[in-house]
Each structure stands twice: as structure tokens, then as C-alpha cells.
Structure 1
């Protein structure tokens, strides 16, 4: 079988997940708090969770779950912090997250079908106090997203969603549409959705 970059990544991710899962689950029950802190000190990665993971749970349940899992970063979805939230509501949201050791690192995914929706999404992220938007803009709006990224100095990660929608079905499609745009425009690589493409 010919080894392509795509098959290499797929095999590496599956193999890595199996290795990590087996070792992590076995060790999780026996790690002392001191050893756990030592491991955290040398781990260069900050594990975060997509807000949509908790689409069927309220914010309190979400934060308690993240705290139990020792996950400290959450991509904020509008069902936990609506687009029309006031400054006081945004402040209260961040305070509640902080009480559980969680930081909102970005917002989205936000589907954007017009320049106004892009404007609203960037303003929402600015009010929330993050510099990352996970978004799904229509293809023809990418030049406008490029302009807004430069204007706000934000990062913009395009979310791929697998074969059930036409826009950005896989990583190759995202790359082809963004490779000549501002380097702060990248990809929210959803491994599960990408595997659904049988890539």
C-alpha cells in the first residue's frame, strides 16, 4: 500500500491514541497528586475541549466535568454564552469558569453566511476577550475573513465537518481554500469528522 501523508497521519493518530489510552487509563488510578503535578510541569501541551462536546449539558455540569477530567481550556459555544450576552453576563461566565480552573480560549464553531455574521462573530469574540474564532464561513466570504483577521489580529480556525455538509468537508478542502490567505487563518482539524470521509 502506498504511504501518503494522509494515511501516515491517520495511522499515527490511531496508534498514538491507542498507546496513550492504554497507558493513561492504567496510570490515572495510581498517580499520586505529587507525580501528577510533576507530569503537568513537563507537558508542553494544553488540552482543551470543544464546547459542542457539551451541547446537551448546562454550563455548571460542563465545568464540573472538565474539572474532574483535569482539563482547563474550553472553546466557548453560544449555548453556554449567547452572542447577545451583556458585559456583566460575560464577566460572570468567566468568573464561573475560573472557579473551576477553566479558561475559555476561543469561540465557535460559528457558521458565517454573510459579512454581517462575520462582523458579529469578530465583535462577539472581542467582547468575550478571546483572540481565536473557530468558524465556518461561506467560501466566497474568505477574502472578508482574511481582512477581519488582519484588522483584529485574531486567529481563525476553519472547522471541517465531514461529508454531511458541502462546505469544508475535509482537511484538503480547508487547505486548498486557505493556503494563500493570512497565516493566522488555519484549520480546526476534527479527526472524527475527517475519518468519516474514509480518507
Structure 2
């Protein structure tokens, strides 16, 4: 009974505040806020990708920089360099499909205030609450200044360990924590579950370490652990232990955004992404508290 009461308190919040953004109940898939990183459908223009996210049952979207904006103009790109006029139809499409924008990335944040402000201004205009980045090493003071000013979170993304580039350390959750633990509370992690698995990092260990600093999560279930070339599988069927991940997220009070990021079968992945959304929709978190 105590466990169930605690779980109800965790899950019973009417909406989730993501920095200055409040996610509506309509952004939930089951008990989590969930949808797709638009990179899943990078083979299509942005408008078509949004339609596919909605068709899969997703309710949230994380944009990525450089997505083809219009199939009629192969040079058009959707990113922080777009004009307000270019963004207007995207906003309308989101409204039409009932999708909530939650993130933008992975985008580089350099130690250049003018360039970083473009990114934060774009997110503010699009209603996005999390900038997902692998920042320049010398940019953290600037980033801290901007997250305070804009009330928009910055989440450090992790790609897999790079055997030929030992200077790349964002794969390591301990290193990520060391960069943000003494910084503003709006600086944290975009937990890419699949890339941790590829790096030989047990996702639940990383999540426990980063408790309270996870603002966004790219979810991948993979067919092998510790293998850089591991491939996507439907959530709940691979080696990422997605049920344990979701249970731990619920325990910590992090109910998303969860972003499906499917990275194979680029033009035919919709049925599998739909199964992933069905998995989270039907998933009932438990707690060990």
C-alpha cells in the first residue's frame, strides 16, 4: 500500500514543468511524456516526419538541426537559423497533429554568445524547454548564464565511447555529472540509453548517478551490450533493460520526455516505432521505495 501511494504521488502530477515549459497531459503516452527525436524520420522532410511521429502514437517531438524543411526545396533546413516566417507553418503543423515540442539537438554550443543566443532564441520561439548539446569545453560559464536568463535547460548528450578519440568523454556519466553538479540546476543530462549500452555502461547505474539532472532521454533498445554496432530493437525486447529504466525514471520522478530514436530502416521504421510507443503506453511503472 505504501509503495502504491508513493507511486501515485510520483505519477499523479497534472503536468510536468521542463524549465520554463509546462508539458500538457496531452503530451503523455500512457504515464510518460513520450514521442520521437525527429532524427528517427530524417529520411523525410520535417512536415512528413511530424506526421509519422503522430501516426506512431508519439505526443512529443525533439527537433534536430538541419532537418530538410521542405521537399520542394532540397536546400532548406530547419534549425536555429530559420526565420520566423519559416517557423510559422511548423508551429501550425504541430498544433494540427497535437504534438508538443520539447527539445532541440544535438546542437553544438560554442563559447560564442551570439551563436548560442541564436539557439536559445530559437528554442524560446518554438516553445522548446531543453537544448540538447555536446558543448564546447570552454562554454559552460556562458551556458550557465543563458540557462538562467532564458529559463531553458541544457542537457548534455552522450554518444558512444570513441576508441580513436580518448578526448571524447561525454559517454561517461561520471564525467557529465562532474561538469554540472556545481552548476545551475538547469544544466544536466540528455540520457541516451542506447549509446550508454554501446559504451558498456549499464543504464540504470548511470541514471542513479545522474538523479535529478536528467531532463530528456533518447531511448534505444539494442540487440547487444557493449557493442558499438548494436542495432535497434522494439522497446522491451533488447539488451537495454527498458522496463528497469522506466521504473527507475518513475521512482526518481522523471516522467519524460522520452524520445524514440530509431536508427535503422530509415524509410520503413514506422511499424517498429509504433510498437515502441505502444510499449510505453501500456507500461505500468512499479517502485521499490
TM-score, normalising length: structure 1: 0.72
> Are the structure 2 counterparts of residues 41 and 169 from structure 1 closer, same or farther at C-alpha, using a change threshold of 3 Å?
closer
Match of 2:43 in 1: 56
> Are the structure 2 counterparts of residues 41 and 194 from structure 1 closer, same or farther at C-alpha, using a change threshold of 3 Å?
closer
> Are the structure 2 counterparts of residues 147 and 99 from structure 1 closer, same or farther at C-alpha, using a change threshold of 3 Å?
same
| Range 63-72 or range 78-87, more displaced | 78-87
1:182 aligns with 2:179: no
- Say whether the 8 Å CA contact 2:81–2:118 is kept in structure 1: no
The structure with higher relative contact order (CA 8 Å, sep 6+) is 2
Give me the whole-angstrom Cα distance separating, in 1, the residues matched to 2:44 and 2:172: 28
- Say whether the 8 Å CA contact 2:132–2:157 is kept in structure 1: yes
Q: Secondary structure at the match of 2:33?
A: coil
Gaps of 5+ in 2: 1-26, 68-77, 202-289
Give the strand-richer structure, 1 or 2. 2
Give the helix-richer structure, 1 or 2. 1
- Say whether the 8 Å CA contact 2:161–2:169 is kept in structure 1: no
Match of 1:78 in 2: 65
Q: Secondary structure at the match of 2:91?
A: helix
Offset of residue 149 of structure 1: 0.7
Give me the whole-angstrom Cα distance separating, in 1, the residues matched to 2:134 and 2:118: 14
Match of 1:198 in 2: 200
Match of 1:115 in 2: 112
Match of 2:219 in 1: none
Give me the whole-angstrom Cα distance separating, in 2, the residues matched to 1:41 and 1:169: 28
Over aligned residues, Cα RMSD in angstroms?
2.1
Gaps of 5+ in 1: 1-39
TM-score, normalising length: structure 2: 0.51
> Are the structure 2 counterparts of residues 120 and 42 from structure 1 closer, same or farther at C-alpha, using a change threshold of 3 Å?
closer
